[in-house]
Amino acid sequence: MIYLFWVNQMKIVFLGTASAISTAERDNTSLLIDNILIDCPGSVFSKLLQLGYDPFESMEHVIITHRHTDHFYGLPALLDTLQLKKRKKSLFLHILYEYVDLLERLFSIFDLTGSKMNFLKLVPFKEGETLIRNDSLLVESFPVRHTVKNVGLKIFNRDVSLVYSSDTEPCETLLEKAKGASLLIHEATWSEALTDRKEGHTSVEEASRMAAFCSVKKLCFVHLGEELIGREEIILQQALKYFSGEILIPKDLDTLVL
């Protein structure tokens, strides 16, 4: 029997909030949830230091949801920084089995091998598996519908549940996992009112309708398409047509506590 002892709060930091094309205001989407980094674009180490968070000592897990560049390309820089600072504490890197070969080739290019990388513990997983179970959080993966194999995440503590869509079109697994969630963090790459459809992605309006159907308490938009950035008030008005709960459009480095 496994006993879990939960903490009462979950802290979410929005390290980036843009889609594949970043802007001066918004970097590619990445999240820090407690001590778990979800996806790794850009200079994550620097951003965390700006927030007063110590990635050298505090970060415990990295989850890569899929292989697209904007979710992956900062990982070599982060790991190289950690080895240069001579990290000893284990860092668990969770990645789908299908992408392990790609990861190993990337590590070889940047010479992220040998004893200097002993702190890194690779944890390949299959979609649908539980990734993390510890004293404060339970993290489950589930398949979503993107242009490559990808996973969304459901994260629990005692009092709250958070669902992160990652990049996806609307799909049944997401609807199932999001039912009654305290917070749905959903991509919003395009809008039915403002842009053309983007294959493998969800519109502001679709995400809002799903949030209403699933009776989530709060809806948060990330992975904003380039054409939507600077038009946040219009996005909000579009979303309110379908979802009457609290809607957040965080900026980079914003923090939310559940």
State pLDDT tens for residues 204-252: 999 999 999 999 999 999 999 999 999 999 999 999 999 999 999 999 9
Q: How far apart are CA 174 and CA 154, in angstroms?
A: 10
What is the pLDDT averaged over residues 67-91? 96
Residue 8: pLDDT band by 50, 70, 90 thresholds?
A: low
Q: Which fold has domain 11-251?
A: Metallo-beta-lactamase; Chain A (3.60.15)
- Residue 91: pLDDT band (50, 70, 90) is very high
pTM: 0.95
Rg value, the chain, Cα = 18
- E strands in 17-169: 30-33, 36-38, 61-64, 91-96, 120-125, 130-133, 138-143, 151-156, 161-164
Average pLDDT over residues 55-71: 96
Place of tokens 């009776």: 215
For residue 138, what is the DSSP state?
E
Taking the C-alpha atoms of residue 137 and residue 96, their distance in angstroms, rounded to an integer, is: 20
